[in-house]
Chain A
Amino acid sequence: MADVAIPRAKPQLSEDSAWIQLKHNRNWLGFWFMVPAMAFLIFFLAYPLGLGIWLSFTDTRIGRVGQFVATENYEWLWDDSIFWLSVFNTLLYTFVASAFKFGIGLYLALLLNEHMPFKAMLRAMVLIPFIVPTVLSALAFWWIFDSQFSIISWSLKQLGLISQNINFLGDTTWARICVIFANVWRGVPFVAITLLAGLQTVSPSLYEAATLDGASRWQMFRHITYPLLTPIIAVVMTFSVLFTFTDFQLIWAMTRGGPVNATHLMATLSYQRAIIAGQLGEGAAISSAMIPFLLAAIMVSWFGLQRRKWQQGENND
């Protein structure tokens, strides 16, 4: 209170007015409040991203400062069939897993939105895959899909359906199916719980009105639930696609990209080239090659997230 009162009482003291003005400038104060967040973003996000892009234009290796080589790394990658395989794998992994996560997540959300016994407990259970650390669940899946000790193979053998163990993680097709399955298992709760939150914002009276208008259950979903859910679907699927596209832990823990690179994603290939093989520049180039794909996904969601015409104006409630 004192510093506020003094300059007001003696406005003729103009020699330190610039400092006092600055001291009372709300924008200047606001800037300092933003500094911690800005510092955090710059040091932990902007700088590593910039460094990664810079590295991709150099031939840096572990233990050796690289030279600027312009687009040489990218030219190498252009002719690298393993890189293109990893791009294909990443796209396959992302699209198939996201589609399943969306379908199963929406189904679970609709199911959990119904009145049923033990609803709270079931909702909590759905979250379990989400709270288990990814590496732990990946290890569990590794055992489940193990070539010798797989419980699935064992069960099928006991049932007499197969005579030999299935080589889940050793066969290219099976390996892809297994990692996608694990990713779906891990990603469904996020989609389900978010969509459930979206479903709960739909006013029950809309369903009553639709009942009186003569809508069947399917018509209610098609004409009421789904259109009202589209904004939240856009958000949740964007996040899901981004997370899936950049997935690393599950793959690395389960297959390390094998067999024969069949499950190598861009993230795992980048790690293998940069850290394991020490080719930092090449690994950075693979990482940077993900940026256009991620930007495309964000653009899709950006346009998907635009407020629809019906969302404009005052709230209806």
Chain B
Amino acid sequence: MSSVQIRDVRKSFGNFEVLHGVTIPIEDGQFVVLVGPSGCGKSTLLRMLAGLENITSGTISIGDRVVNNVQPKERDIAMVFQNYALYPHMTVADNMGFSLKLRNASADEINKRVKRAAEILALSPLLDRYPRQLSGGQRQRVAMGRAIVRDPQVFLFDEPLSNLDAKLRVAMRTEIKELHQRLKTTTVYVTHDQIEAMTMADKIVVMHDGIVEQMGTPLELYDKPDNQFVAGFIGSPAMNFLKGHVRVNGVATFEGPNGVKLPLKTAPTASDGRPAVYGVRPEHFTIADDGAEAEIIVVEPTGSETQVFAKVGGEQVVAVFRERHQFNPGDKIRLKPDPALVHLFDDATGKRLNA
């Protein structure tokens, strides 16, 4: 196990820069999730960490050692690929023991380590099978087994669950998290799925267009997104954004589209009339008499909660209620955001304005 330091790393393909100076400190034993939409550079960064891509500038260190010019096999890392990359002509046991075989480990040693990894992953009955004879979830576990057998300093996961069906994905999520709690190996995990990030990470790194938008624990990102991108990316259903102006006439309010008045706890200093974006999560609406008028468009009951799509000041918003409401399309209700949980972003830069 060891820490990983990514310092001002840049990556260009020809003249096209895809990573614009990324700095991510990763502590020993941490589970870090790189999350972002496709094309944000997260997989490229992971592949640079693995040594599959060159580093254009900046440094990556694993432990105390800068690995920019270290061969992948000497970096002491193991990677789980999106398509698993299992060797189709080798049995599960051979797949898992391949790296040890290449290092001329003794047959006994290979056998022992493969068996141990197989026990951890409940693969023992499958050791003599070939990858094609396994289900998606089993292949996924073999890919992890191949990583575990090597007992590396760092585990790298490149969207490992995206080839699985929804139910299996949830199960494997828990399994990977459990595995990390057991082995405590430093892990870097790439995904585009913010739920995966939220549920598994010690630290989430939100990336967008080759830069780090924000780093923090899952709840930090949820409670205090630094900017509108992170606010919109983390949380499901996504945060509602309403454009308008801050008003400070004794009491701070937000004037939304078509003059809709929305509550603010405090306004940023000297901000009367400032154009801004008002962000409120769907789960932070309540129905109250002093709320903003909203016209119901669609109601989606899921049993545990009710999602309500409505128009506020002509803009569509979504609200989620734990209670069961009987609404019909066209009904008028009054939605009130919780002022303590409201986010305010600069209209131009998208930076967070309120504390």
Contacts and interface: CB of A to CB of B under 8 A. Distances in A.
Contacts of A227: 89
B167 interface: no
Contacts of B77: 212
Interface string A242-286: 000000000000000000000000000000000000000000000
A208 B87 contact: no
B87 A206 contact: yes
Interface in B127-151: 130-134, 139, 146, 150
A8 to B, nearest CB: 45
A205 B99 contact: no
Given A223-B98, A308-B89, 20 more contacts: A209-B81, A209-B146, A211-B72, A212-B50, A212-B73, A212-B77, A212-B79, A213-B146, A214-B102, A215-B73, A219-B102, A228-B89, A310-B132, A311-B132, A313-B130, A313-B132, A313-B133, A313-B134, A316-B132, A317-B83
B32 interface: no
B81 A228 contact: no
B318 interface: no
Contact of A211 (B73, B88, B89): B73
Given A310-B89, A312-B132, A212 B78 contact: yes
Contacts of A317: 83
A182 to B, nearest CB: 36
Interface in A106-123: none
Interface in B143-162: 146, 150
15 contacts: A205-B83, A206-B85, A208-B85, A209-B81, A209-B86, A211-B51, A211-B52, A212-B52, A214-B103, A310-B90, A310-B130, A313-B130, A313-B134, A316-B132, A317-B83
Interface of B: 50-52, 72-73, 77-79, 81-90, 98-99, 102-103, 130-134, 139, 146, 150
B133 A203 contact: no
A94 B99 CA distance: 40
Nearest to A309: B130
B102 A215 contact: yes
Contact of A312 (B78, B87, B98, B133): B133
A209 B85 contact: yes
A315 B130 CA distance: 11
Given A208-B81, A313-B132, A317-B83, A213 B89 contact: no
A209 B77 CA distance: 11
Contacts of B99: 212-214
Interface string A217-241: 0010001100110000000000000
Contacts of A309: 130
Contacts of A316: 83-84, 86, 88, 131-132, 139
A16 interface: no
Contacts of B131: 310, 316
Nearest to A314: B132
| Residue among A205, A213, A311, A317 with max Cβ neighbours from chain B (10 Å) | A213
